[in-house]
């Protein structure tokens, strides 16, 4: 099959899944920013997106996208390493016009995957999963409703080590997305000599806004816990 057997096909899969994941992150960031305004309003959204059938379908679809993106990223990284052969040991400096993120996408992807696992443990396992099994997470001897997302945000980001972990995770995600954004358009043929630089600028601005949105929630609740 062309999408899986050819290098271009794999890159197309990476681009399509990457675009879908960027859109999800944009939605997720906007949803999280509601918690900056009102914890109650955020909990209403959490209840709407709990263990309802449409949320479960979305969760399964998202999991498939993430899995495909990671698997094809790994395959492409192995393919590129084999293609370089012995030349990979001869290169000691980064070539001109080649981004650092471009040469370290696999490493960045691993960091992103680890951060995703931590995030799932902190939130999904205590919210949607608990609702699915008709249970509640117990924190400091207190049972917390699965839809009380504001509490889980406040509890998680009141702990400095999670603030550090999420900051590092989001920094890696910024590098990963900033490269992936413009390379996505390059793969599908929407990036010529003029537009490649434009997509890079647009991507950097867009991704920066998304990451700053996530970080604003992290640090808002961290400093709030210090007051």
Asked, for residue 97, whether it belongs to a domain, the answer is no
List residues bridging with 144 in a β-sheet: 137
Range of the structural domain that residue 114 is part of: 2-84+103-226
pLDDT at 136: 96
pLDDT at 91: 46
User: Nearest-5° angle of CA 114, CA 116, CA 121?
Assistant: 100
Asked, for residue 117, whether it belongs to a domain, the answer is yes
Asked, for residue 91, whether it belongs to a domain, the answer is no
The ranges of the chain with pLDDT < 50 are 86, 88-92
- Give the number of domains in the chain: 1
Asked, for residue 95, whether it belongs to a domain, the answer is no
Distant-in-sequence contacts of 77-86, Cβ < 8 A, 24+ apart: 77/105, 77/106, 79/7, 79/10
pLDDT at 78: 77
Asked, for residue 63, whether it belongs to a domain, the answer is yes
* Cα–Cα separations (whole angstroms), residue 185 to 14, 61, 155: 11, 23, 39
């Amino acid at each position: 099959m062309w999408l899986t057997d050819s290098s271009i096909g794999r890159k197309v899969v990476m681009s399509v899944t990457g675009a879908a994941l960027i859109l999800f992150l944009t939605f997720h960031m906007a949803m999280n920013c509601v918690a900056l305004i009102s914890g109650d309003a955020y909990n209403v959204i959490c209840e709407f997106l709990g263990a309802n059938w449409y949320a479960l379908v979305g969760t399964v679809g998202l999991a498939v996208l993430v899995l495909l993106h990671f698997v094809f990223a790994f395959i492409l990284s192995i393919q590129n390493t084999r293609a370089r052969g012995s030349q990979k040991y001869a290169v000691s400096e980064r070539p001109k016009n080649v981004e650092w993120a471009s040469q370290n996408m696999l490493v960045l992807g691993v960091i992103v995957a680890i951060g995703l696992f931590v995030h799932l443990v902190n939130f999904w396992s205590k919210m949607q999963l608990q609702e699915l099994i008709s249970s509640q997470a117990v924190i400091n001897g207190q049972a917390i409703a699965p839809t009380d997302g504001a509490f889980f945000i406040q509890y998680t980001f009141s702990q400095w080590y999670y603030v550090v972990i999420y900051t590092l995770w989001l920094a890696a995600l910024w590098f990963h997305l900033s490269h992936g954004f413009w390379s996505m358009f390059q793969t599908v043929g929407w990036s010529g000599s003029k537009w490649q630089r434009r997509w890079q600028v647009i991507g950097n601005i867009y991704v920066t806004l998304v990451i700053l949105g996530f970080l604003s929630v992290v640090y808002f609740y961290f400093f709030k816990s210090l007051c």
